[in-house]
Amino acid sequence: MMERFAKSEHGAAMVEMTIVAPLLFALTLGFVDFGYAFFQWNAAAKAVQVGARLASISDPVVKATVLAAAAPTSIPGAPVAADAYPAFVCKYTGSTGACNGNSSSFDANAFSRIFRGDTAVTNDNACPALTGTQRPGMCHFFPGLQRDNVVITYAATGLGFQTRLGGPIPTIAVSLQNRSFQFFFLGGLMGFANINMPSMLSTVTGEDLKTSAPS
């Protein structure tokens, strides 16, 4: 009887499946997770492109009067040289928005238009649904995007001339910070840590900046 038991192959398939199944599931769920990570990468790239485009045709996040006063005016008509004024880096830290650390020069409504498009202005990370012909903002292209992930920079790169009626022409860069790829299956089942997303960046010329931002 022991000899027959030793030669029996009953249950061999179950044992083999038990050994192979974890690897099979890990590979399958890994493909799903990395596919979703690729989607997040594309969504982030599109979001910064849209944000840069909106920033170039909207009120500047650094208030227009602050931006205009930063450019030199001593020689009317002379070029505004590169680095003629310090770059303004505008972003949220928690619930406070500031440009170069100065909250008084930060225009929350202008930031909201870049982040949310034409939807309602709110003082949080909400991304209201679009209606009618409203233009989308960054959050509509990258679900889950937070305000403090977005950095908008206005810099002098040698464009425009002093005392220009519409103010200086900055180069605008929109980038993302502190954003991680989200891994659901691998993170939950295998403790796979989220990976920091490389900084996304899109740069444009402030072609038609409005000057109606409050001082």
**Measured in whole angstroms, how far is the alpha carbon of residue 103 from the centre of its chain?**
21
Per-residue confidence at 212, pLDDT binned at 50, 70, 90? Answer: very low
Rounded average pLDDT over 8-19: 67
In angstroms, rounded to a whole number, what is the distance separating the alpha carbons of residues 22 and 118? 48
Check residue 122 and give its pLDDT: 86
Percentage of residues in the chain with pLDDT exceeding 70?
A: 86
Nearest Cα to Cα of residue 116 among 104, 102, 99, 128: 128
Which residue has better confidence, 106 or 210?
A: 106
* 14: amino acid identity, one letter: M
| pLDDT recorded at residue 38 | 87
Question: Higher pLDDT residue, 65 or 215?
Answer: 65
Query: Which of 41 and 16 is assigned the larger pLDDT?
Result: 41
Residue 85 to residue 155: CA distance in whole angstroms: 8
CB 116 within 8 A of CB 137: yes
The SS3 assignment for 163 reads: coil
Does residue 86 register a pLDDT over 60? yes
pTM of the model as a whole: 0.82
pLDDT tens string 110-126: 999 999 999 988 889 99
